[in-house]
Amino acid sequence: MNIPLAHYLILSALLFSVGFAGAILRRNAVVVLIGMELMLNAANLNFIAFWRFGPHPEALTGVMFVIFSIAIAAAEAAVGLALVIAIYRHRHTVQVEQIDALRG
């Protein structure tokens, strides 16, 4: 286990960019939500990596933050997917470019 911290951070940056590209480029709202989950996971990886390499790992701060972050991400996914289902019931589509009722 002689991997420097920067490798984890670069992996996290790559994962964030992939999720970001998917979230802004895909048309289906479900895939947009998957991209957001990937971005959240990239942030969690940063917290765990900094906890592992940090000077005071016994304080467990990074681990606690990730546990709460996972709980909040689960709530966000549940509400977001329920919104997708509600939009599909009203508009009969989940393509984000066709849901333009608030477009100026």
Partner 1 sequence: MLSNLPFLSCAVLTLLAAIAAMTLRNLVHCALCAAASFAGLAAIYLQLNAEFVGFAQILVYVGAVAILIVFTILLTHGSDVKAGEPVRSSSLWTGLGVAAVVLSALVAPITRSASLWLLPSANPQAPVAAIGRVLMTQYVLPLETIGLLLTAALLGGVVIAMREKPARKTPTKPSRAPSRELSHAA
How far is the C-alpha of 36 from the C-alpha of 48, rounded, in Å?
A: 19
Give which of 4, 75, 82, 73 is closest to 41, Cα–Cα.
Answer: 73
By CB under 8 A, the count of residues binding partner 1 is: 69
Q: Is 84 in contact with 93 (CB distance < 8 Å)? A: no
State yes or no: residue 98 binds partner 1 (CB under 8 A).
Answer: no
Query: What residues between 67 and 96 interact with partner 1 by CB under 8 A?
Result: 67-68, 70-79, 81-86, 88-89, 94
Query: What residues between 26 and 65 interact with partner 1 by CB under 8 A?
Result: 26-28, 30-31, 33-35, 37-38, 41, 44-45, 48-49, 51-53, 57-58, 60, 63-64
Query: Rounded to the nearest whole angstrom, what is the least distance from the CB of residue 93 to partner 1 in the complex?
Result: 9
Output the six-digit token pair for 80: 């977001």
52-71-21 Cα angle (round to 5): 75
Q: What is the DSSP string of 62-85?
A: HHHHHHHHHHHHHHHHHHHHHHHH
Residues that bind partner 1 in the complex, under the rule CB under 8 A: 1-11, 13-22, 24-28, 30-31, 33-35, 37-38, 41, 44-45, 48-49, 51-53, 57-58, 60, 63-64, 66-68, 70-79, 81-86, 88-89, 94, 97
